[in-house]
Every structure is written in structure tokens, then in C-alpha cells.
Chain A
């Protein structure tokens, strides 16, 4: 079975110039953990995920601290979030994108998703976005097929 039979044929995506705030709104409305970033011809040029945005909102020292629980408030996070809200997606997106051709087998796709710990992968036909694949797409189909 090819992944085009199990993917979500959803073309929701953003452009590189979309403000982060907009991308977050779409993610939250569509309940997606990430969005493919496409150019005018629907070619996938990157991906922006919840974790890219969260990382950008965290104050710089956060990663260096062994245990940040002694910091009481959310101030630094909110300030940083406000700062980046209007910046374009291209400043935070991952440009080395793992994408899958729609004719890829499920085994190959599963291998990529699990080995690289990916939660969302754009599915493409000749570089153009045709859908997305998540680990649950694969699991759901595997559980339901006869």
C-alpha cells in the first residue's frame, strides 16, 4: 500500500511570509502540530511546527538551565511570544524538510517517521504538496485494515 492511500489529503499550508501569529492560529484551528511552508507554485520549501515556535518563545537561558522550575512567572515567555508574533514564518521554519513522494511505501514512510521522530511529514507529487502524513495515519490504517 502506498502512502497516498493513508495520508490526509489536506492542503493547509502557509507561505514563508505568513506571520507566526497567523500560523499558530491555523495550527490551533486545524489541530495540526505543524504546517508545510510552500511557495507560489505549491512547492514545499519548509515546515513550521509547534515545537519550532515554542523554542523561539523560550528565553535563551532556558535551555542552559538544568531545572527552571524556580522561575515563577510566565513573563519572559509572554514577552518573547509577543516579540515574534509578527515575524514571518521563514525566520523559524525548518528548511531541510523530510517530505515523502505519494508513491512511497508505508514501510519506508514509517521508517522515516519513527527514526527521525517526525510528527508530521508533507506528502508531495513532483515536489508539490498533495497532503500530509502523521504517525497516527499509519497506525489508524494498520489497525483498521482486514
Chain B
């Protein structure tokens, strides 16, 4: 059997097994990576140099920072404070909680956002004696949408930013305004599915929520002040990181180390919260894709795309957007994005396209596709599992009934946005 065929089989097997989630995804990615080395498709040197340490460093830095800041209780404080603005109107509550989830998720990873916001939502709903399902679902969708807005919001963006040398501000300028529109539209759309729940009268029980004292959520005021200062400083440096000639990973790691320095928290304790498994999943995938690229599969795929779209930038951009959105509703968006990066690079090399719209299409498709099914993104599974522990089961079908239309509408709107802004 020739190497191309073997590489293709390993690659497809990885995509299938990672999506089935029967075996741990990191183990699958590492096994695939090592198979490429054992079968001599790549040597060790090639494999190691395929790992994008800018992505790994940025992810690690952000994980350390978030693990320290979340101890302060700041995010709970914000969630309670904003919830109170609803003044007993369930739709307003859904609206405000979705917006804050989307905004937080643009600076935190989606799973952390869900872990922080959903429990507060449950506390509010139980005190109001209303169903938490519409709110939690809306928060899950908002987390996936909000993550699309920035370089650090969702892993596909980190991968794309690093591969295409797109800065923090590039994402803010090109994606954030459109994502904000999607975020604002989301609660109105969720309301269509839960009309009855949204019209309940909770004026009487609202007093209980009013009594929530958000100041008590702040666990360590001294750490809070230091963390906010360093976090804002880090974001400020992120805004100028390209002008300063600094890679995103450097900025995140400096922020993380500074925070470790001033917080006086034992690094060993903080590092326990770093998701090593996710980092090694990335490492395994980078090696796998380098193998797939070496045997020429990526080259073949990008040539096919160019032929099918007749070398037309508009068609290529829209094809990348739709294929990404639909694929990422079913397969893991990290593995998908890592696979697509060399494809887009190749398209750029063969054609004379300005690749930026294609990168934004990849980002929008990969991130927004996460809303399609509940297996599509980690935040979905985490949110649904928290509800399950409360005895509220959301089936694949129930999630799909709302998630799929939300995904499709957001991809349609993305098509319009990309066309009007970059292609017309």
C-alpha cells in the first residue's frame, strides 16, 4: 500500500473516532501522530517541527490566566449584576444572560464560560420556579457565537490567527461587530421556540433574585484588583501585539506569569487546572496534519476546491463557510480547522487570492457550526451535562431542533456579511 493511501485511512479514522467520542480524543490524536512517525511517513524531527507552539503557548497562557481570575468570583458577580436588570421579565433575563455569556466567552474559553454562568442561571431559575432549559440553551449558543469574536475566544480562531498571522485587532475589526449582531438576535430567536416559558409571570418571586448579593460572590477582593489590572494590561498588549512585534503566545504567557507572580498562588495548583489533555490533542493533530500534507492529500484537496469553485474568490469563500459550518456541526472543530489551515494556504499559493475573506469564512464556519448539534462543541456537552445532573434531560433531537436552525441562520447571515464586506 502506498503512503498516501495509508495516511488517508489514518486521517479519516482519526476524524471519525474523535467525533464518536468512544475513545479519548487526545489518545486518538497522539496514536495517529505516532503512527505517522512509526510508519516513517514523517520523521521525529519533522513531527516536532510541525507543532505550532504559538497556538499551544497562547492556549496555555489563557488557561493559566482564566484559572486564577475565576477564583476571584468576578464572573459570577457580573452575571448576577446583569441578571438583576431583567426586573422580573424572563425574556429580559434570557437576553441579558445570553449577552453576558457571549461577551465573557469572547475572552474566556467557551467551556469555562458555561461552567461559570449555567450554575448561576440554575440558582436564579430555581428561585423563580421556572424552567432553566431555554436560558441554558441560549447561553450555550451564545458561548459558541461569542467565542467567534476574538482571537482568544475559541480554539479555531487561535489556530487561524497563528497560521494566517492575523492579529487580535484583525479579529476584533473583522468579526466582532458581526458577532455582536448575531448575539443580539439570538435571544429573539430562542424566544420563538419557548413562547410559553417566556410569558410566565415571575414578578412575585423576583424579590428572591433581587436579594442575591453579588458582592458576596467576590471571594478575594485583593486578588480581584490585581487580576483585573493584569488582565486589562494583557488585553491592551494583545491589541497592539503585531505593532510591538510580539506573538500572541508571548503576550498570553507574560500575562499568565505576571498573574502567578502577583497572586502568590502555588503554580503547581494552577497547572492542575491547565487542560493538558486538550493541549496534547492539539499537538497530536498538528503532527497528523503535517503527515497528511506531506503525502499530498492537502494539495489534492485544495486543487479540487479551486477546480470546483472555478478559481472564483466569492465561491471559494462561501464554499469554505458552508462546508465548515456543516462539517463542524458533526465533527470536532479543532481537528477540522487544523486540517483546513494548510488547504487554505495552498489555495492562496495556487491562486492570487487575498485570503482574508477565506480565513474569516473558516473562522465563522468552524465556530458557528458548533451550535448545530450537541456533540459539535465541548461547551454544548458540558452545558447539557450540568442540566442532566439536575434531572433535566435535553435529547439530541431537542438540541438539534433549535441548534440546527440557529446554526443555519447564522451561516446564512455570515454569507451575507462576508459578501457585502469583502466580496461585492
Interface segment among B118-126, B186-194, B224-232, B314-322: the answer is: B118-126
- Count residues of chain B with CB under 8 A from any CB of chain A: 25
With A60-B391, A73-B208, A76-B126 in contact, is A66–B80 under 8 Å at CB? no
Chain B residues with Cβ under 8 A from A64's Cβ?
A: 118-119, 122, 386, 389
> Which residue from chain B places its CB closest to the CB of A62 in the assembled complex?
B123
Q: What is the bound-complex CA distance between A61 and B118, given in angstroms? A: 9
Cross-chain contact A61 with B212 (CB below 8 angstroms):
no
A73 engages B211 (CB within 8 Å): yes
Q: Tell me, yes or no, whether B217 is within 8 Å of chain A by CB.
A: yes
**A70-B208 Cα distance, complex, nearest whole Å:** 11
A61-B122 in contact (CB<8A): yes
Selected contact of B213 from candidates A61, A63, A72, A75, CB within 8 Å: A72
The answer for the CA separation of A75 and B216 in the assembled complex, in Å, is 18
| A61 vs chain B, min Cβ distance (A) | 4
B contact residues around A67 at 8 Å (CB): 73, 76, 216-217, 219
Contacts of A60 in B (CB 8 A): 122, 126, 389-391
Measured between alpha carbons, how far is A67 from B80 in the docked complex, in Å?
12
| Given A59-B126, A61-B126: A66 touches B76 (CB 8 Å cut-off) | yes
Question: In the bound complex, do residue A70 and residue B216 qualify as a contact, i.e. CB atoms below 8 Å apart?
Answer: yes
Contact present for A68 and B123 (CB under 8 Å): yes
A55-83 residues at the B interface, CB under 8 angstroms: 59-61, 63-73, 75-76
The reply on B116 being an interface residue by CB < 8 A is yes
User: Which residues of chain B are within 8 angstroms of A75 by Cβ–Cβ distance?
Assistant: 127, 208
Contact A61/B70 with A70-B80, A72-B213, A75-B208 known, Cβ cut-off 8 Å: no
CB-based contact A66/B211 at 8 Å: no
B residues lining the A interface (CB < 8 Å): 70, 73, 76, 80, 116, 118-120, 122-123, 126-127, 208, 211-217, 219, 386, 389-391
Q: Which 3 A-B pairs have the closest CB atoms?
A: A61-B122, A64-B119, A72-B211
- Give A residues with C-beta under 8 Å from B: 59-61, 63-73, 75-76
